[in-house]
């Protein structure tokens, strides 16, 4: 199986995250079914109410155990608004030119999906002594509901986890082994005032109650930069990257603000006291008699570098130490999987661009690295 032609077929399926991903899912489903996978497709709705498709696939080979190797992918892509490739190709053309494959999703992550499937195609099922799992979600770019649904409802996923299988998230990493990435945590703090005509004395501007909390947050920002328990030097930047977004209602200058809110967002890191900080922030807000919303969090990912799976992946990739990255993946939902890495062809710098592309050499090398990992964990045994 050729990873380039398969990637082209996937790119030509419009699966922008605000639409259904069924056409692209069908191409992947047919490809895996042709390789002997038992394929299950499940429908769910993303955070915007759009119907999406989820695949959970298993090829057992001659295995008598559930312990094997799993690939985790998403087939949704970001918007094509503003697309303008220098070679004039459209976002869904999948053109090969100048040693690159161009198109939305070429890098993130239809190219990596094609490389993984092509690697599996090179493995004779008769030689397979451990299972190969393949999972595909449809909304990684808008809420990761598919990954959550997979964890909560998929028996194949549960079987794979309970057997302590190893997992690979096929995001683009330039084929470098990533064993850690950041997660996220957000909540909203709200102050209530009284909206009234600003020419009268009947209003109460909610911002005045919120401002002391904002001053406190400014002090916290300084702490985040310097406090060792809130830093992890493996990352760049090595901090929680606290960010706030302020909103007023109403926004007319001749009406006093009746509702003032501060949305707080942290990029959480493993091996830091971010949970304790969140508790402190929310308690301070309550002490100031501000309302605090429910906390929404995505766990950061970390698999210790000395784990045998990480060491094997490093050996195959020709790397001495694993990397840590500051973006998040569906891996935030897979916290019950103890052997998890991110590894895929393509450069994240080319993802989400107005002219997304992936080098053909990366696709071919990615296929070979995936094949070597499959051979190690599904053919020769651990």
> Can you give the pLDDT at residue 380?
82
Average pLDDT over residues 39-63: 96
In 3-state terms, what secondary structure has residue 232? Answer: coil
Task: Label residue 310 left, alpha or beta by phi (over 0 means left) and psi (-120 to 50 means alpha).
Answer: alpha
User: pLDDT band at 321, cuts 50/70/90?
Assistant: very high
Average pLDDT over residues 312-330: 97
pLDDT at residue 150 tops 60: yes
Residues of the chain with CATH 3.40.630.10: 3-181+299-379
DSSP per-residue codes, 315-352: HHHT-SS-EEESS--GGGG-TT-SSEEE--SS-GGGTT
Bridge partner list, 191: 260
pLDDT tens sequence across 339-360: 999 999 999 999 999 999 999 9
> Can you give the pLDDT at residue 381?
61
Judge if the upstream peptide bond of residue 30 is cis by omega within 30 degrees of 0: no
pTM of the model: 0.94
Give domain 3-181+299-379's CATH architecture.
3-Layer(aba) Sandwich (3.40)
DSSP per-residue codes, 83-95: ---TT---TTS-E
pLDDT at residue 86 tops 90: no
Average pLDDT over residues 237-249: 97
> Can you give the pLDDT at residue 26?
98
Distances, alpha carbon 4 to alpha carbons 91, 132, 137, 279, in Å: 16, 22, 21, 48
Residues of the chain with CATH 3.30.70.360: 184-298
Average pLDDT over residues 30-54: 97
> Can you give the pLDDT at residue 183?
97
Distance of CA 182 to the CA centre of its chain: 10
Q: How far apart are CA 116 and CA 339, in angstroms?
A: 18
Q: How far apart are CA 117 and CA 108, in angstroms?
A: 15
pLDDT tens sequence across 171-211: 999 999 999 999 999 999 999 999 999 999 999 999 999 99
- Range list of H helices, 185-327: 207-226, 274-287, 308-317
User: pLDDT band at 382, cuts 50/70/90?
Assistant: low
Q: How far apart are CA 94 and CA 12, in angstroms?
A: 6
For residue 340, what are its two tokens?
Answer: 């998890």
Q: Roughly how many angstroms between the first and final C-alpha of the chain, as a whole number? A: 26
DSSP per-residue codes, 96-138: EETTEEESTTTTTTHHHHHHHHHHHHTS-GGG--S-EEEEEES
In 3-state terms, what secondary structure has residue 298? Answer: strand
Q: For 184-298, which CATH class?
A: alpha beta
Please state, rounded to an integer, the average pLDDT across all residues of the chain. Answer: 97
pLDDT at residue 280 tops 90: yes
């Amino acid at each position: 199986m050729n990873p380039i032609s398969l990637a082209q077929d996937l790119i030509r399926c419009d699966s922008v995250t605000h639409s259904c991903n069924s056409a692209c899912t069908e191409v992947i489903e047919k490809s895996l079914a042709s390789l002997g996978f038992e394929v299950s497709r499940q429908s769910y709705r993303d955070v915007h109410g759009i119907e999406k498709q989820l695949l959970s696939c298993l090829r057992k080979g001659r295995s008598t155990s559930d312990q094997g190797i799993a690939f985790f992918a998403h087939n949704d892509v970001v918007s094509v608004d503003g697309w303008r490739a220098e070679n004039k190709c459209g976002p869904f053309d999948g053109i090969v030119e100048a040693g690159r494959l161009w198109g939305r999703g070429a890098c993130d992550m239809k190219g990596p999906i094609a490389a993984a499937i092509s690697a599996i195609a090179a493995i004779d099922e008769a030689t397979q002594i451990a299972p190969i799992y393949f999972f595909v979600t449809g909304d990684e770019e808008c809420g990761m509901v598919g990954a959550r649904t997979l964890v909560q409802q998929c028996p194949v996923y549960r079987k794979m986890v309970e057997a302590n299988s190893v997992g690979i998230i096929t995001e683009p990493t330039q084929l470098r082994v990533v064993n850690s990435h950041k997660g996220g945590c957000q909540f909203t703090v709200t102050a209530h005032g009284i909206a009234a005509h600003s020419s009268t004395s009947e209003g109460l501007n909610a911002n005045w109650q919120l401002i002391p909390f904002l001053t406190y947050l400014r002090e916290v920002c300084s702490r985040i930069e310097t406090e060792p328990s809130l830093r992890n030097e493996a990352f760049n930047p090595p901090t929680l990257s606290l960010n706030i977004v302020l909103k007023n209602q109403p926004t007319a200058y001749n009406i006093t603000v009746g509702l003032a809110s501060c949305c707080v967002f942290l990029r959480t890191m493993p091996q830091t006291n971010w949970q304790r900080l969140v508790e402190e922030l929310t308690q301070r807000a309550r002490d100031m008699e501000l309302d605090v919303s429910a906390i929404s969090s995505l766990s950061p990912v970390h698999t210790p570098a000395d784990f045998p799976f990480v060491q094997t992946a490093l050996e195959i990739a020709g790397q001495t130490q694993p990397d840590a990255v500051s973006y998040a993946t569906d891996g935030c939902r897979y916290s019950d999987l103890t052997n998890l890495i991110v590894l895929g062809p393509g450069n994240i710098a080319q993802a989400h661009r107005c002219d997304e592309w992936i080098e053909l050499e990366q696709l071919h090398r990615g296929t070979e690295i995936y094949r070597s990992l499959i051979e190690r964990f599904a053919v020769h045994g651990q």
